[in-house]
Amino acid sequence: MLNAKIPAGPLNTKWEDYKGHCKLVNPANKRNLEIIVIGTGLAGASAAASLGELGYKVKAFCFQDSPRRAHSIAAQGGINAAKNYQNDGDSVYRLFYDTVKGGDYRAREANVHRLAEVSGNIIDQCVAQGVPFAREYGGLLSNRSFGGTQVQRTFYAAGQTGQQLLLGAYSALERQVALGNVTMYSRHEMLDIVKIDGKARGIIARNLITGQLERHFGHAVLICSGGYGNVFFLSTNAMGSNVTAAWKATQNGAYFANPCFTQIHPTCIPVSGDHQSKLTLMSESLRNDGRIWVPKKKDDNRKASDIPEEERDYYLERRYPAFGNLVPRDVASRAAKERCDAGYGVGTSKQAVYLDFAAAIERYGSIEANKRQMHGVSKEEIIKLGKEVVAEKYGNLFDMYAKITGENPYETPMRIYPAVHYTMGGLWVDYELQTTVPGLYSLGEANFSDHGANRLGASALMQGLADGYFVLPYTIGNYLADEIRVKAIPTDHPAFAEAESKVRDRIAKLMSIKGTKSVDFFHKKLGKIMWDKCGMARNEQGLKEAIEEIKALRAEFYKDVRIPGDENEFNPELEKAGRVADFLELGELMCIDALNRRESCGGHFREESQTEEGEAKRDDENFSYVAAWEYKGPSDYVLHKEELVFEEVKPTQRSYK
């Protein structure tokens, strides 16, 4: 069994006790210790800034031209924290409970409780950095609701919360760069880990502008490179998002945990054709005020405005009255799929449902009229006032929808459908965020630790910043305190030469194929296999077929992929080829993991395991564990289990009714 190194004692004192007893590194010694950070999104930027502030020598790597381009910028709706500003019953325990339940009891209690504990600190830190959170009339920070909760705990900055939080972390990072504590390597991609005596001691990186390979030493390496949703090709992730850093860690001995736990987001703009390279998210915050419905009549081709109220099925409110439109993402996604599969979908593709703001606009308009002491106003005037309020809260999201679809969401309901969004699986880490390779850590979406089988909305930003600002700076000291006598290892060490040689051989192999098909051809084919057979619903036959199809596709890739250009120059197709090669291995492991987990939980829905009402049916007796896979080679994996123990929150069949 894997040892998660969870501290003893009551759940609500574990983190404080850990911090009081972990080893420390004194300031003079910190100046002699080097740390490599891969990725500069919220997790990486906050970690690099915090470690630089503490006095460590930090090297930060990102494949974008600036940390400001990290995909964290795309997060829209908000960040959770147990501040209880609304006085509506929220607490650290309630946030912990909602997160464990929302993850369908497949997360580690100790990590989730720590996350809830530090959540309030994150808001204070970001406010101090100048993040422009929305505020109430009196000046207090505003909150809104998100799925899977019955309180308002989501802090937000219009529909661009991720961008504003990233700018806060980026400003803290750039301060450390200016002070000389952090060295920034943009347009660099990590292509391998260097291990010496079993410990992570550096990386091999490729300069994406020149094509040159570089060797970099570090006493520890942090993987903060985000999730792997782009294995499906079409997802809400930026096209550059990939699994390569995490996968190279896996190939070097770091176990990969729960790869089949992928999140389908219920509110995305539907696929419009084969021309698309990505999908666009409409923030879950829209479910805060919007109502989701389909026509009660099958194949109803009328305009939404022509369908009277009594002929509309507000199916989430009907099926889940306690939570209504704010059920967790996995529940809302499956419900939308069920309605569309049953013939009630809307739009030309019939693969969409309506997200309607008409009632919210009218409600806000009436409130605004009352605030202005306007009496006897017309319905048109109320709607005008309501649109102004909605524009203030969600305006950039509505503008984005209008630009993409050509439709005015203030006048007609949005059309939405589920799409791949976030990955709960990732590198296995213990309580200290260390992988199974000593000195190799993983933060944010790149690790598996805090969300179980389904992430609640607005928790991704919370986890990324919690790991970087408030967890890793403590836990890494516990490891580095024993490394203070280790001098910087020269990069002409044989282990560096061997790792670089491995990378050169991989690149040469890809460049030598000179086939006839583009990298995107293979990526799209892989994505279709994954979506059809390891997407919103999975079954044994489909997963077995997918495994064989991916193996065949991988063989074809290595025979017939065409990569133009040269390896020693700026070559985006070579970058993509390396990433797709990794996806072709990861995709197979995802299907193996999904086949092994013969239960339904959260974002993993096995058709053979569902209740009479079509809800996910867990098997706690046999599958209450983290599945951590050890890489032995392509198609060769060994399963290691971390048993999940629930002392505070006893697993029950999830109900949002």
Catalytically active residues, by annotation: 329
Residue 245: CA count within 13 A, CB half-sphere: 33
CB-based burial label for 502 (10 Å; 0-12, 13-18, 19+): middle
Report the amino acid identity of residue 383.
I
Rounded Cα distance between 221 and 439, Å, is 6
Whose tokens are 């990433």? That residue is: 579
Residue 643: CA count within 13 A, CB half-sphere: 6
Q: What is the CA radius of gyration of the chain?
A: 24
How many Å separate Cα 175 from the centre of its chain?
A: 27
Rounded Cα distance between 485 and 646, Å, is 40
Instruction: Name the nearest CA neighbour of 207 among 222, 232, 182, 190.
Output: 190
Instruction: Name the nearest CA neighbour of 462 among 10, 103, 80, 199.
Output: 80
Residue 467: CA count within 13 A, CB half-sphere: 34
Contact 438, 486 (CB under 8 A): no
Total count of residues recorded for the chain: 657
Instruction: Name the nearest CA neighbour of 136 among 393, 402, 505.
Output: 393
Which of the 8 DSSP states describes residue 281? B
Instruction: Name the nearest CA neighbour of 417 among 315, 322, 349, 317.
Output: 349
Rounded Cα distance between 526 and 232, Å, is 7
Rounded Cα distance between 119 and 122, Å, is 5
Rounded Cα distance between 279 and 282, Å, is 10
Instruction: Name the nearest CA neighbour of 154 among 246, 86, 203.
Output: 86
Instruction: Name the nearest CA neighbour of 257 among 462, 437, 452, 71.
Output: 452
Backbone angles phi, psi at 276, to 5 degrees: -75, 145
Strand partners, 306: none
Cα-based distances in Å from 64 to 76, 188, 421, 478: 20, 8, 20, 31
